Amino acid sequence: MREKINIPYHEMRNGFKNQVRNSSLRRGMNPLLFLMKKAKNHILQLLALYCPINSLRVKMHRLRGVNIGENVFIGLNCVLDHAYPEYIYLEDGCGLNGDVYIIAHTNPNKSYQDYFEAYVAPVVIGKHAWIGIRSTILPGVRVGENSVVSAGVVVSKDVQPDTLVASAKNRIIKYR
């Protein structure tokens, strides 16, 4: 499994050429190969978003570099990190409902460097875990085996095995 690494803060670059050059240098790649990899990744992500057949969605994400086990379900319109798909691990039997976001990196603008860290960290969805519709999993999170993340939850910390995570919005705050 990959380790967490710090990455440079986002800086606005003048022009497409400068952006490609700096991004490829950051990853230690030839600029042309970087562009080709980025285009392939983008096309496969777009195709996977609306593909009606789960096995094809899984195959497209594997081709992008996402680490996917056996019998994994990926719902429609799921976004698996567009920049670092190789940092996502979906273990055997897990499921992602529709509109799930899994983000493996955070790259704030350089003006926020005193407040936020810029990094990429692995995200692991454990065996037989289930991620509810429109949930978001943030960088560095591990969702334990047999855990359930209910709909619309933003997960920023590890979830222990055999745990149900629900949004605090659903709690009754006060009775009349």
Residue 94 pLDDT grade (very low, low, confident, very high; cuts 50, 70, 90): very high
Sheet holding 88-90, edge to edge: 67-68, 88-90, 123-125, 142-143
Residue 102 pLDDT grade (very low, low, confident, very high; cuts 50, 70, 90): very high
Residue 176 pLDDT grade (very low, low, confident, very high; cuts 50, 70, 90): low
Q: Which residue has the tokens 């790649």?
A: 29
Residue 173 pLDDT grade (very low, low, confident, very high; cuts 50, 70, 90): very low
- Which pTM was predicted? 0.92
pLDDT per residue over 124-164, tens digit each? 999 999 999 999 999 999 999 999 999 999 999 999 999 99
**What count of other Cβ atoms lies within 10 Å of the Cβ of residue 116?**
12
Sketch out the chain's domains with CATH numbers.
5-166 (2.160.10.10)
The predicted structure's pLDDT at residue 26: 81
Residue 171 pLDDT grade (very low, low, confident, very high; cuts 50, 70, 90): low
pLDDT, average across residues 118-122? 96
The predicted structure's pLDDT at residue 168: 65
If you compute the radius of gyration of the chain from its CA atoms, what whole number of angstroms results? 17
Q: Is the pLDDT of residue 25 over 90?
A: no
The predicted structure's pLDDT at residue 81: 97
